[in-house]
Amino acid sequence: MSENVEITIPLVKNETNLVFQNICYSIGQRKKEKHLLKHISGKFRAGRLTAILGPSGAGKTTLLNVLSGFKTQGVSGNIVINNEIIDRQRYRQLVAYTAQDVALLPNITPRESLHYAADLKLPKKIGDQKKITIVNDVIAVLGLQKCADTQAQMLSGGEKKRLSIGMELVSNPQIMFFDEPTSGLDSVASYQVISYMKDLALQGRCVVSVIHQPSSELLELFDDIYVVVDGRCLYQGSLDNLITTFAEAGFQCPPYYNRADFVLKIASKYDQQNVKIEEMITASEKLIYTEMDHRKSRSATANSFLVDGDHGPQFPISWWDQFCILTRRTTLGTIRNPALMWLRLFGHILIGFIIGFVFSNVGADASKVLSNISFLILILMFIIFANAMTVVLTFPLEMVVFIREHKSNYYSVSAYYFSKLVADFPWMIAGVTAYHLIVYYLSGQLLETDRIIMFWGICALFGWLSQLYGLIAGCIFSIELSPVIVPVSMLPALLFSGFFIRYNELTDVFKPLPMISYFRYGFEGLVQATYGHNRTELGCAEIFCYYRKTSKVLEALHMVPDRYWSDVLGLSIWIVFLHVVLYCSLRFRLRWTR
């Protein structure tokens, strides 16, 4: 945090105290169920900075994921805000959660990221000038002036941490959760981050942070301590009472010893046979429970964790505004991404010239028909690999951003889905069109307007299909696995395209498969555009050419004449199907992370 900067972010008008009661969280199936949180309760107060301490595997991050609303499946218990059980929708509007490793769009600057966050998280009635003021204030208090216009991929670890805090701060949340905000930072940067969190708490917010082995200097910034061990609460109270409470339970802290290290050392020795620690946990649970208001908890059911409800719109802006903002952001990121923009466009042009010169003038020569057929399948193979593999290598990172932002109530799934399709589509079409015109002309195909358009139509549809294919793979699989899954999963469709083995030569068990092969519709469509629709005889440089008549070409490939529009329909059905699969994949990815 920069020095001598006045905090101008608005104070929280109404203090928000958070109480959680009997929270349980388990994973796995019933026979092999693992309980990560075991009827844990506690209270976090507004205006105070709380540290969650505990050994590795104690359940600190799990507790934060549950309290933030990011984990909902397998959870039971109650969350009470100011003695009121509220619904999931209202709760998500109150809470901001910054995970340990916050993924950022690499080609967007901090200033732009904050502006997009403000546009998405603040109501439209707040004018643009007011949003600019808020963004400038956040940049100032977080000390991001020097890197405000630097792309996120060039930021240091501390700058990324502060930017992630700022993106949540623009909406002025009342409850803020942080998961190990100092991980990967040096002592100076760590102190700056925690100092800023302290300032946020002093403004009336409820600020809670998981902290891993803080120094004595860092620990002094916290007001309250919450110690977790084996999914249960070992201690909750002020920092000043920490050593006294442990001493009363029989644990003496050596003089001049780091209190955090002392607590972690005791907590790491926990097992159910340790009577002193078990008694301390029980006493802590009883003390927390007696301090709570039971009226609400008695009226709630055992599984009423973040109940559903209807309290107005879920998002602060309309669907159309979400779509427009996300489209602008995606377009900006695409333009600045060499792999998605320039390499893809120039790659299409470069490969177009290479293939065009290799297959020079094969399109009009009857003696080179077999080479021209190979040229047609090669066109499709390059289109699918060039368009699917580029997005499959970049989309997994965006998926992490999408999951975090959607769970933080930035926008709806459908707004992101359509913005992603619309923003990337022009660049895909531009690359495919340039590639098509180059290879079509250099290979000596028939220069008739209708055939050029028909040829381009198949290439454009196949590029569209390829892009969706890559997006789906990037959505479902990791960045390590998806580059392997994509080419392997394409092989069956390529095998039944009609190029490697003709349709009527297939055994009966395989004959239905060409009907579901997108390569079959693409390949047949290009053959129909090239040789179908009453094309005249081909020229021949030799004395005898078997394929002088184009009907012989179709017969050799066992293709029925005039099936071009059937192939267009087949590709269109595939595209519609993949659109549905992509949307369902986004929904599945969200549900899987719950």
The DSSP symbol for 108 reads S
Q: Residue 43 in 3-state DSSP?
A: strand
pLDDT at site 295: 43
Residues 6 or more apart from 466 whose CB is under 8 A from it?
A: 383, 384, 385, 386, 387, 388
What CA–CA distances, in Å, run from 214 to 54, 171, 192? 11, 29, 13
DSSP states of 453-514 as a string?
Answer: HHHHHHHHHHHHHHHHHHHHHHHHS-TTTHHHHHHHHHHHHHHTSSSSS-GGGS-TTTTTGG
What is the C-alpha to C-alpha distance for residues 455 and 538, in angstroms, rounded to an integer? 18
What is the C-alpha to C-alpha distance for residues 351 and 431, in angstroms, rounded to an integer? 11
pLDDT at site 1: 43
Specify the long-range contacts of residues 155-159, CB closer than 8 Å, at least 24 apart. 155/104, 155/110, 157/184, 157/185, 157/189, 158/185, 158/186, 158/189, 158/192, 158/193, 159/110
Structure token pair of residue 356? 């065009």
Q: Report the side by side order of strands in the sheet with 75-81.
A: 34-44, 18-27, 75-81, 84-85
pLDDT at site 13: 55
Structure token pair of residue 316? 């602060």
The span from the first CA to the last CA of the chain, in angstroms, equals: 33
Task: Please state at what angle helix 564-592 crosses helix 449-476, rounded to 10 degrees.
Answer: 20
Question: In tens digits, what is the pLDDT along the chain, a chain of 594 residues?
Answer: 444 444 445 555 567 888 888 899 888 766 677 888 988 999 999 999 999 999 988 889 999 989 988 887 888 888 888 887 777 777 877 888 888 777 888 899 999 999 999 999 988 888 889 999 989 988 887 888 899 999 988 988 888 888 988 888 888 888 999 988 888 778 888 888 888 889 889 888 899 999 988 889 999 999 999 999 988 898 999 999 999 988 888 888 888 889 999 999 888 877 655 677 777 777 777 777 666 655 454 434 444 455 555 555 678 899 999 999 999 999 998 888 877 777 788 989 999 999 999 999 888 777 888 888 999 999 999 999 999 988 887 788 788 889 888 888 889 999 999 999 898 899 899 999 999 999 999 998 888 899 999 999 999 999 999 999 999 998 888 888 888 888 898 999 999 988 888 888 888 888 888 889 999 999 999 999 988 887 777 777 766 677 778 788 888 888 888 889 999 999 999 999 999 999 999 998 888 776
CB 34 within 8 A of CB 192: no
Structure token pair of residue 361? 């003038």
pLDDT at site 6: 43
The DSSP symbol for 153 reads G
pLDDT at site 301: 40
Structure token pair of residue 267? 């907590």
What CA–CA distances, in Å, run from 492 to 478, 522, 558? 22, 14, 19
Question: Beta strand pairing status for 34-44 and 18-27?
Answer: antiparallel
| Cross-strand partners of 233 | 228
Q: Residue 111 in 3-state DSSP?
A: helix
3-state secondary structure 509-537: CCCCHHHHCHHHHHHHHHHHHHHCCCCCC
Question: Beta strand pairing status for 95-98 and 18-27?
Answer: unpaired
